[in-house]
């Protein structure tokens, strides 16, 4: 073989190895468990027993007693509190671009700026919205917490149109299924791995003298979630959208965010989390794949500072992630894992959805019935809790989207 080609192949192999090690966090991480047999024994906190020891037996008690307790624990100890809804902010929406002939007339594309203003200053988000043309409106929508910069030119090229691209948006399929699609960029309000919180959205809410979030105040994921809520404020004002039928979704970091967004803001009708893993759907107590320690070492403020107190003390957390999914009930929730995405602990993601199902049942809905994870590639979606695990690693692929769209159609299309 030509020596140049061989060299190229060796370099390529090395690059691929480094990339896959990076993903699984293996570089120097001897202390990550991927072996099911080594998952420690654990007791999950009870969903249906209050902090005072009272057993919850009715939907009413869940909504009035237990759910608020759990939400307060997630806010104060895990993700960090967002500003109270009563905090005065001024929101302004500005359509900066409109293309009614997008995708050869299939959709109308709108680029909308959302300005958030307080007496301390202003910050602007830019969302992208694609609304199917020629359908009975208002339409339901899928909102994605997105890694793709909504100000970038990507959206004018093939990226959007291909159903095969990994992590692309299969816009054609989404629109054909009768959904609008809305993308919210994750770095509009806070940087990916923010550590200073000087220019982020936080600064608009600091009282005199404060310059960093307090231990129980919003970290990065909470700030992204809050952005999704503001995007929903816009959709409520857009007469082409039925804002009561909006699903929030995301992958990985944004899958974590999607679940937290839906739990906090009950206007969202559904949540879809793709490979959300640690601080997403996966159970903390399994300590399988990424752990709290790994997360706060790399991304110190994705969660709030209080969460750091539970590093290597996961069993002391008064919540686990099945409780986050339960707070989305009775609204449908879908969880997606990948066999090779061991960093995100697919089994832990399934178990979380399975245990959350206890609350779905209490509320008269159907959850997951078997503790056993379903066969690879086979989606369970006959109730309000859906799940699939597929072969392969950390990405969203065409087949995943098909299942998300099927689940969303089942629950959010009026004609069904």
**Active-site annotation, residues:** 252, 394
Q: Compose the 237-266 pattern: x for residues touching ligand GCU by CB under 6 A, - for all others.
A: ---------------xx-------------
Q: Extract the tokens encoding 63.
A: 């909504």
CB 312 within 8 A of CB 85: no
Given the complex with ligand GCU, which of 23 and 151 has the nearer CB atom? Answer: 23
Q: What span, in angstroms and rounded, lies between the C-alpha atoms of 270 and 331?
A: 6
Q: Extract the tokens encoding 49.
A: 């027993």
Q: What span, in angstroms and rounded, lies between the C-alpha atoms of 137 and 239?
A: 8
Question: In this structure, what is the dihedral angle of CA atoms 352, 79, 412, 177, given to the nearest 10 degrees?
Answer: -100
Least distance between ligand GCU and beta carbon 180 (Å): 25
Radius of gyration of the chain (CA): 21
Q: Rule CB under 6 A: is residue 278 a binding residue for ligand GCU? A: yes
Q: Which of 219, 227, 277, 348 binds ligand GCU (CB under 6 A)?
A: 277
Total chain residues near ligand GCU (CB under 6 A):
8
Q: Which stretch binds ligand GCU (CB under 6 A): 111-119, 129-137, 176-184, 290-298?
A: 290-298
Least distance between ligand GCU and beta carbon 348 (Å): 13
**Residue 388, beta-bridge partner list:** 336
Q: Rule CB under 6 A: is residue 75 a binding residue for ligand GCU? A: no
113, 53, 297: which is closest to 193 by C-alpha?
297
Least distance between ligand GCU and beta carbon 396 (Å): 11
CB 26 within 8 A of CB 34: no
Least distance between ligand GCU and beta carbon 30 (Å): 17
Given the complex with ligand GCU, which of 114 and 278 has the nearer CB atom? Answer: 278
Q: How far is CA 62 from CA 57, 81, 140, 327, 385, in A?
A: 8, 21, 28, 10, 18
* Binding to ligand GCU, residues 154-193 (CB under 6 A): none
Least distance between ligand GCU and beta carbon 341 (Å): 9
CB 373 within 8 A of CB 346: yes
Q: Extract the tokens encoding 169.
A: 């948006």
* Binding to ligand GCU, residues 339-398 (CB under 6 A): 343
Q: Which of 290, 314, 345, 400 binds ligand GCU (CB under 6 A)?
A: 290
Q: Can you give the binding site for ligand GCU, defined by CB under 6 A?
A: 252-253, 277-278, 290, 295, 298, 343
């Amino acid at each position: 073989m030509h020596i140049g080609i061989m060299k190229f192949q060796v370099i390529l192999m090395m690059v691929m190895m480094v990339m896959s090690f990076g993903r699984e966090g293996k570089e120097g991480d001897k202390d990550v468990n991927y072996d099911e047999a080594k998952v420690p024994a654990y007791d999950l906190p009870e969903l249906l027993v209050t902090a005072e020891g009272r057993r919850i037996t009715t939907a009413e008690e869940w909504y009035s007693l237990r759910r608020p307790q759990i939400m307060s624990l997630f806010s104060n100890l895990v993700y960090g509190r967002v500003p109270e809804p009563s905090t005065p902010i001024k929101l302004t929406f500005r359509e900066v671009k409109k293309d009614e002939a997008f995708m050869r007339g299939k959709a109308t594309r709108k680029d909308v700026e959302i300005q958030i203003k307080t007496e301390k200053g202003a910050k602007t988000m830019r969302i992208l919205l694609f609304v199917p043309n020629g359908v009975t409106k208002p339409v339901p929508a899928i909102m994605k917490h997105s890694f793709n910069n909504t100000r970038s030119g990507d959206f004018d090229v093939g990226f959007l149109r291909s159903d095969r691209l990994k992590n692309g948006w299969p816009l054609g399929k989404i629109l054909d299924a009768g959904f609008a699609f809305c993308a919210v960029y994750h770095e509009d309000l806070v940087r990916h791995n923010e550590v200073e919180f000087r220019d982020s959205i936080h600064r608009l809410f600091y009282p005199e003298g404060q310059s960093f979030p307090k231990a129980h105040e919003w970290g990065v994921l909470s700030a992204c979630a809050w952005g999704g809520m503001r995007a929903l404020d816009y959709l409520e004002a857009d007469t082409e959208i039925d804002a009561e039928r909006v699903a929030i979704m995301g992958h990985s970091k944004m899958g974590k965010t999607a679940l937290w967004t839906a739990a906090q803001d009950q206007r969202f009708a559904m949540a879809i989390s793709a490979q959300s893993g640690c601080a997403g759907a996966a159970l903390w107590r399994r300590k399988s794949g990424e752990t709290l320690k790994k997360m706060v070492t790399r991304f110190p403020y994705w969660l709030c500072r209080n969460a750091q107190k539970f590093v290597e003390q996961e069993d002391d957390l008064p919540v686990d992630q099945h409780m986050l999914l339960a707070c989305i009930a009775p609204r449908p929730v879908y969880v997606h894992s990948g066999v090779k995405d061991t960093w995100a602990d697919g089994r832990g993601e399934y178990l979380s959805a399975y245990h959350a199902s206890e609350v779905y049942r209490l509320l008269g809905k159907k959850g997951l019935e078997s503790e056993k994870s379903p066969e690879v590639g086979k989606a369970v979606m006959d109730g309000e809790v859906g799940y699939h695990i597929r072969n392969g690693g950390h990405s969203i692929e065409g087949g995943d989207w098909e299942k998300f769209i099927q689940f969303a159609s089942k629950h959010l299309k009026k004609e069904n």
